[in-house]
Structure 1
Amino acid sequence: MPLQMIGAPGDPDLIRLPWDLPLEQWPEHHLVALPRGISRHVVRFARLGGRVYAIKEISERYARREYRLLWDLVRHDAPSVEPVAVVTGRTAADGSELDSALITRHLQFSLPYRAVLSGTVRPDTLTRLLDALAVLLVRLHLTGFYWGDCSLSNTLFRRDAGAFAAYLVDAETGELHPAISEGLRAHDIEVAHVNIYGEMLDLEAGGLLHPTVDPLTFADQLVERYERLWTELTQDEIIDEVDWHRVDQRIRRLNSLGFDVAEMMVRRKAGTSRLIVRPKVVDAGHHQRRLLRLTGLDVEENQARRLLNDLDAFRVSNGLRHEDEAIVAHRWLAEVFQPVMHATPADLRRKLEPAQLFHEVLDHRWFMSEAAGHDVGLAAAVRSYVDNVLVFKPDEKAVITTSDPLSP
């Protein structure tokens, strides 16, 4: 069978990569040195036309299946990597057949958990990763997706203000259903518990786990956090007709978790004056969508919340409470956000994505102002942040080097 690329590659140079070689033998000049998670398959990163692609060597059957599943997740707006193409019909120079390859678009500024947890891991960092993974699993289950192999290794993490956002990176064992059954949901949680317990033991054996962190307790906490969030999102609530404030409280709790309520299902409980209320929850992203609509900035949920808070503060401080929201947002972009970006040297901007950089500048301004006893202003905060913090940060964007230090 001749070499074939199926999908929407967008970059014609993808077909010119050395598909007649096993991924392990690809020349260094084709590769990008990026941290990789643990995988049962060979994975490499290639950069073409300013974009970075992750390439996984896998059998044709599973490559096609995972490609379709990832596209289904993209269509459902679930947090996952974006599929690009499947390459089949690979043949080596000696005529032997090679495995097919699945190409996905690399998620910029994302890191596998081992890169996030480099050095001795603090408990609060683990807790933030745990929260991100619990939210990811809940969102996938709300979509009807059964993962089958939930783990830290199969997840990518992006910094999201003071927290993390998690993305599925491996859908090889997944299944998409109209709605997930209780049996599949319970099995997914059990698999996640076992996998994460094993990963924590591995970190402990490598001396990367804080002595106060117990691997089993940590894995148990994932299940507890998941169940608490799932219950909040899906359970019926029985209320008296006069207790509508409880409905409002629940909506606010859901919003604080990053979920929107599209509508409420309300029915009367038979033989009583009580009502049964269930919120219809839509995908997370309330703040993301508002910020995107107002400014065109497409960022993570917590980053969007932080930027919107600053935008709202800008509205109040400039006496613009009654001005049209879109006009205020345009002024905030021109007078606040963009000047921070322009004040950051071009060679340092690649270290963090713009929204995360802006968030960290705001944090730095707060700490400086606390120490000074007065607001030091944004310009001074940017200068200090660049000189004393940003220059020492590692790059979190894809960078081409001559060798891959993580190659086996």
Structure 2
Amino acid sequence: MELQITATAPEHPASLLDLPWDVPLEKWPDEYLVALPRGISRHVVRFARAGDEIIAVKEVGEWAAVREYGLLKDLDKLAVPAVDPVAVVTGRSDAGGEPLEPVLITRLLKGSLPYRAMFETTMRPGTVRRLLDALAVLLVRLHLSGFAWGDCSLSNTLFRRDAGAFAAYLVDAETGQLQPELTRGQRDYDLEIARVNIAGELMDLEAGGSLHPSVDPVSFGEEIVERYGELWHELTRTSVYPRDKRHYIDRRIRRLNDLGFDVAEMQIQRSPDGDAVTFLPKVVDAGHHQRQLLRLTGLDTEENQARSLLNDLETWMTTQDDYAPGDPLGARPEVLAHRWVRDVFRPAVRAVPRELREGADTAQIYHELMEHRWLLCEEAGHDVGLQATVEDYVRRARERRA
């Protein structure tokens, strides 16, 4: 049988031909390999250089390799966080003509680490929780896409920190199934597998002295089930709001914030019945909102102020006619953010007389206006608008000073 390379892009076969496919993967010479942290795997996995790319090469049976390759391509189309498939190599044989196992090739996920590499120094309990929250986000997104993992674990996940955000990526789809929609039983099965696997993996770290003494493997394994349930409910329940109920959107964001999740992306679809809102959650580290707001607007604030301002900015963006995420013809976030500062933030703050600010900076004043707007909207049962909010805020501030 002749060597055959099935690849996702035309340039890949040429860059892959120079690799020693006639040698078992575990015996590849160092000149082809790249020394990077590897997770635990049932199969032989190596990192190698192919042209300008670093790839992960996994030896696995032909049926499994072709199937996983197809699943990863499907997940990529669904925009689910997973490693990118590059190629499947079949028809391998050694110098003596003996057949060798086919391989699945994926692209290295830059900046990512397997969980064991992240635990090389004892990780604080709060950081462990954020990693598990990131895994809960991944599992929810997979299930929403109709993907039953079948083997959810820390070992089958890569973690990446990006500007303070924690993200989890599926790295092993071998046991997965993609369907139009999952049943409750299929989701519960994945959760039970996740609970058992995570508890066992944390116990293994505990035995090796790499787990913080305050982290209980069993309770942390159970915690991911709870976090998944909270997030699943908040993301999947009906959310079509009348157009004059903007504060309902704020309410949903606040509930996600209270659960410890932030909104990575918000999509609003206009319909005759109202605005259908879809949220994409993420897990963030301390200081993320400050950096994000500073990058978009130039405003340097405290973290809680930044979160409040970003939530308002992102909600406002979705109301703009030229807001089109991912559309090159739509306004870039930086352009919209500049417009928000000019047309919304500054006018609102300037409408509050200096003598009523009591030494608060502009970010704090706007944050207080957002809190006041939230209370007024809850009382009125509809969105009262920013102008009415400012007027009521100023009136009450004057009454307090009188």
What TM-score range do you get, normalising by the shorter chain? 0.5 to 0.7
Q: How many residues align?
A: 305
Which runs of no fewer than 5 residues in structure 1 stay unpaired? 268-276, 286-299, 333-408
Which amino acid in 2 is paired with 1:309?
L
Aligned to 1:110: 112
Question: 1:282 and 1:264, CA in 2 relative to 1: closer, same or farther beyond 3 A?
Answer: farther
Q: Deviations over 1:147-167 (max 9, x none)?
A: 111111001111133341111
Aligned to 1:50: 52
2:232 and 2:175 mapped to 1: Cα distance? 22
Which amino acid in 2 is paired with 1:97?
P
Which range moved further: 166-175 or 2-11? Answer: 2-11
Alignment of 1:262-341 (within 5 A): 262-263=268-269, 281=278, 283=280, 307-314=291-298
2:198 and 2:105 mapped to 1: Cα distance? 27
- C-alpha contact (below 8 Å) 1:160/1:301 kept by paired residues: no
Which runs of no fewer than 5 residues in structure 2 stay unpaired? 302-312, 314-321, 323-330, 339-402
2:139 and 2:119 mapped to 1: Cα distance? 20
Question: 1:237 and 1:28, CA in 2 relative to 1: closer, same or farther beyond 3 A?
Answer: closer
1:126 and 1:304 mapped to 2: Cα distance? 17
Aligned to 2:156: 154
Alignment of 1:19-168 (within 5 A): 19-168=21-170
Question: 1:54 and 1:312, CA in 2 relative to 1: closer, same or farther beyond 3 A?
Answer: closer
After TM superposition, give the deviation of residue 65 of structure 1 in Å.
Answer: 0.2
Q: CA RMSD in A?
A: 3.6
After TM superposition, give the deviation of residue 250 of structure 1 in Å.
Answer: 1.2
Q: Deviations over 1:7-66 (max 9, x none)?
A: 235231312211111100100100000000000000000012221000000000000000
1:241 and 1:50 mapped to 2: Cα distance? 50
- C-alpha contact (below 8 Å) 1:146/1:184 kept by paired residues: yes
Which amino acid in 1 is paired with 2:147?
F
Q: What's the TM-score, normalizing by structure 2?
A: 0.68
SS in 2 for 1:16: coil
Which amino acid in 1 is paired with 2:113?
L
1:151 and 1:266 mapped to 2: Cα distance? 43
Q: Deviations over 1:64-121 (max 9, x none)?
A: 0000000000001110000000000011122221110000000111100111111223
Aligned to 1:337: none
Calculate percent identity across the aligned residue pairs. Answer: 52
Question: 1:116 and 1:258, CA in 2 relative to 1: closer, same or farther beyond 3 A?
Answer: same
2:113 and 2:237 mapped to 1: Cα distance? 34
- C-alpha contact (below 8 Å) 1:54/1:106 kept by paired residues: yes
- C-alpha contact (below 8 Å) 1:260/1:283 kept by paired residues: yes
**Larger relative contact order, structure 1 or 2 (CA cutoff 8 Å, min sep 6):** 1
Runs of 4+ in 1 over 6 A off after TM superposition: 237-244, 264-267, 300-304
Aligned to 2:185: 183
Alignment of 1:337-352 (within 5 A): none
Question: 1:235 and 1:98, CA in 2 relative to 1: closer, same or farther beyond 3 A?
Answer: same
Which range moved further: 108-117 or 229-238? Answer: 229-238
1:215 to 214, 217, 233: 217
Q: Deviations over 1:149-194 (max 9, x none)?
A: 1111001111133341111000000111111211111111111101
Question: 1:4 and 1:21, CA in 2 relative to 1: closer, same or farther beyond 3 A?
Answer: same
Question: 1:102 and 1:302, CA in 2 relative to 1: closer, same or farther beyond 3 A?
Answer: farther
SS in 1 for 2:181: coil
2:148 and 2:158 mapped to 1: Cα distance? 18
- C-alpha contact (below 8 Å) 1:67/1:102 kept by paired residues: yes
Which amino acid in 2 is paired with 1:183?
G
1:302 and 1:260 mapped to 2: Cα distance? 21
Which amino acid in 2 is paired with 1:4?
Q
Question: 1:207 and 1:224, CA in 2 relative to 1: closer, same or farther beyond 3 A?
Answer: same
SS in 1 for 2:206: helix
- C-alpha contact (below 8 Å) 2:240/2:277 kept by paired residues: no
* Bigger CA radius of gyration: 2
Which range moved further: 206-215 or 3-12? Answer: 3-12
